[in-house]
A = this chain, B = another copy of it.
Amino acid sequence: MTVTLADVAARARVSPATVSRVLNGNYPVAAATRDRVLRAVDELDYVLNGPASSLAAATSDLVGILVNDIADPFFGIMAGAAQSEIGGQDPGGGAGPGRAGSQKLAVVCNTGGSPERELTYLTLLQRQRAAAVILTGGALEDPDHSAAMTAKLGRLVEAGTRVVLCGRPPLPEGEAAIAALAFDNRGGGRRLTEHLLALGHRTIGYVAGPLERTTTRHRLEGHRDALRAAGVPGADDGSGRGPLTLHGPYTRRSGYEATLELLRREPGLTALVAANDTVALGACAAVRDQGLRIPQDVSVAGFDDLPFSVDAVPALTTVRLPLQEAGARAGRLAMGTEAPPPGGIATIAAELMARASTAPPRS
């Protein structure tokens, strides 16, 4: 029923091996022969059988990109940039319908933040003998899950799959073969709070991300570092959860509700730091709904500098993460077209974007 490589070979009056060589373009073939083969491919509308080819070659052209939330532009931007580097080039050499050169198939897999699904996707990709896997965004810090991840990634590496971490800290046990592009969440968090402190704020609420996520912890630590350095007390009770810190998912709703609660607990609050820009938007809405003005009554800051943040009213003070660049670099690392950073680890700087949503406190 379906056309096979043998059919093409017959029509082009060459051996299957030759057709394979033409298609893979990784072997010298006479121009005349190649043309004949290519013509046969087009005439028969032949499409390579991926599974068969992967089986024989023991590798596939699948590259998996794991994201925690595909509906969040934070991940979409990184994934899109990575995908462009991987599968974005023009199909090589004026390809006809049947061919697609040595194209890799970059695909994004949405874990929804679930550790089980993360592992499941890795198994599925391992099953497909994926050429590479990119893990984006913060990791869960649960020891069991960490161990399972380390083991699974180790097996992938062993099987020849390239593994790249993008916006995620290196594995605890530091598999050397795994390149990591880590965001400086801690430094960014610190600079953001320093900015607030410099403006004169002393009572600062913090709407943090979900517990046990590296991203959450690092941003929070940066915040606490700044507070401590300035000798501002009260934000840390030693448990890592100050009375002015509330945890929740990376959603607008979480920002809204946590802000209401924080404002209730501490009416003297003059500034609010959110886990990210989306949460900050919710926080802004809550502040406003309480009849307070931003930034006159309460300053609000986010993190990530997603595209919509500059359009918030007032424009959101935040910390810019070069998501596009990081994603692209991860894509190149996955393709092997860029050398891994020294030590396998690169820290990517986070830049403070001071805008209109923060100002000196009222009094």
Residue numbers of A with Cβ under 8 A of B are 2, 45, 47-55, 60-62, 64, 69-73, 75-77, 79-80, 83-84, 87-88, 90-91, 97-100, 103, 105-110, 112, 116-117, 119-121, 123-129, 148, 152, 155, 159, 252, 278, 281-282, 284-285, 288, 307-308, 310-313
Contact = CB atoms under 8 A, between A and B. Distances in A.
B127 A252 contact: no
Taken together, the copies of this chain in the complex come to 2
B55 A110 contact: no
B97 A152 contact: yes
Contact of A80 (B54, B91, B110, B126): B110
B116 A98 contact: no
22 contacts: A48-B127, A51-B54, A51-B55, A69-B76, A69-B80, A70-B83, A72-B73, A76-B76, A83-B110, A84-B112, A87-B120, A90-B116, A97-B119, A97-B148, A97-B152, A100-B120, A100-B123, A107-B107, A108-B108, A281-B311, A284-B311, A285-B310
The 4 A-B residue pairs with the shortest CB-CB distance in the complex, in nearest-first order = A107-B107, A51-B54, A71-B76, A313-B313
Given A51-B60, A72-B73, A80 B112 contact: yes
Nearest to A123: B100
